[in-house]
């Protein structure tokens, strides 16, 4: 995922269909310098992860 799109999703009040390892996730924060995002699975908000933007997929 491109950093600009990840930031748009993170800033949007509308929930986007984004997955990490085929699991639906929420993007909390995008680190443009390191090209990473802090995410959590929708079914487990306590499980925060820092992952590469390349590992995120937006489903249309």
Confidence (pLDDT) at 30 = 98
How many residues would you count in the chain? Answer: 60
Between CA 44 and CA 8 the distance in angstroms is 23
pTM: 0.91
* Cα–Cα separations (whole angstroms), residue 9 to 16, 30, 50, 59: 7, 10, 16, 12
The per-residue pLDDT for range 13-60, each reduced to its tens digit, is: 999 999 999 999 999 999 999 999 999 999 999 999 999 999 999 998
Confidence (pLDDT) at 60 = 83
């Amino acid at each position: 995922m491109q950093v600009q799109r990840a930031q748009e999703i993170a800033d949007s009040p509308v929930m986007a269909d984004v997955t990490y390892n085929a699991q639906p996730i929420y993007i909390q924060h995008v680190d443009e310098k390191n090209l990473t995002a802090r995410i959590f699975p929708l079914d487990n908000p306590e499980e925060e992860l820092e992952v590469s933007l390349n590992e995120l997929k937006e489903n249309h």
